[in-house]
Amino acid sequence: MIFSAALAPVLAVLFYIYIRDKYEKEPLIKALTCFFTGGFIAFPIIAVERVFSFLSVFDESTAIGAFYTSFVVASFTEETFKLAALLFLVWRSKEFDERFDGIVYSVFISIGFAGFENFSYVFNPVYGGLTTAVMRAVFSVPAHGLFGVVMGYYFANAKFNSENKSINKTVTFLIPFLYHGIYDFLLFIDYTGSEIVFFLFVLFLWINGFVKIKKHISLSPFKLKQR
């Protein structure tokens, strides 16, 4: 049951984003390559995060310690490796021929990592278990998918929007880095009202993600060809 609870959110996000690519669906082998690459980069990510944690001089129970862990240890490391994988696998790919493709491939990479991370948490003998699986299914795994949506959105804009290419290249990393860092920071801190702010921020991530998905789908050049 715990295995199913850990696997279900991963499959749900992948299935949802794949079926939304309705006008010119990406080759499954390419999407799965991104997914498994996302899982593979978990190993160097863990190594780098341990180095950053070792170098930290901050107490995690303090605000500055939570900030360092959230933005430097977690967000900076994870989003850097995700973007590197996306650039390596997708940027020059002939399959990357419409804007929504950027979201598809980015989400598959993000969920590949999130899936590996999810199983490592759920089956941890100390703090794992069914409760952990349910909480991560509701929050953590979808959050990684939403960070992937944002990265893929601007990644595609950098590819297909010649007017603002340099700006989109910058925000391709910057925006998901900030969102990821804020998400983790709100989880780490324990102040009055922080839970409310966290839930409002999660709601914002969902709305923002759906808007970006809808926008890139509407811009598909294959949409007109199917009419």
Count of positions (residues) in the chain: 227
pLDDT, tens digit, for every residue of 25-34?
999 999 999 9
Kindly report the number of other CB atoms within 10 A of residue 146's CB atom: 27
The C-alpha atoms of residue 24 and residue 134 are separated, in whole angstroms, by 34
pLDDT, tens digit, for every residue of 5-21?
999 999 999 999 999 99
pLDDT, tens digit, for every residue of 112-129?
999 999 999 999 988 889
pLDDT: which is higher, 60 or 149? 149
Integer angstrom CA distances of residue 38 from 60, 144, 221: 27, 11, 28
- The first and second tokens of residue 67, run together, are 């900030």
Kindly report the number of other CB atoms within 10 A of residue 128's CB atom: 17
Average pLDDT of 149-165?
A: 92
**Closest to 205 measured CA to CA, from 170, 173, 181:** 181
Residue 223 clears pLDDT 80, i.e. is over it: no
Average pLDDT of 123-143?
A: 92
Residue 153 clears pLDDT 70, i.e. is over it: yes
* Boundaries of every domain in the chain: 2-20+27-218
pLDDT, tens digit, for every residue of 170-221?
999 999 999 999 999 999 998 888 999 999 999 999 999 999 999 999 998 8
User: Quick one: how far is CA 45 from the chain centroid?
Assistant: 14
Q: Look at the block and give the residue holding tokens 């290419």.
A: 165
Average pLDDT of 133-147?
A: 96
- Residue 22 · residue 223 · CB < 8 Å: no
What is the structure's pLDDT at 144? 98
Integer angstrom CA distances of residue 33 from 17, 27, 110: 15, 10, 12
Kindly report the number of other CB atoms within 10 A of residue 117's CB atom: 20
- Residue 176 · residue 151 · CB < 8 Å: yes
Residue 225 clears pLDDT 80, i.e. is over it: no
What is the structure's pLDDT at 190? 84
What is the structure's pLDDT at 166? 86
What is the structure's pLDDT at 176? 98
pLDDT, tens digit, for every residue of 46-101?
999 999 999 998 888 899 999 999 999 999 999 999 999 999 999 999 999 999 99
Residue 93 phi, psi dihedral angles, 5° rounding: -70, 140
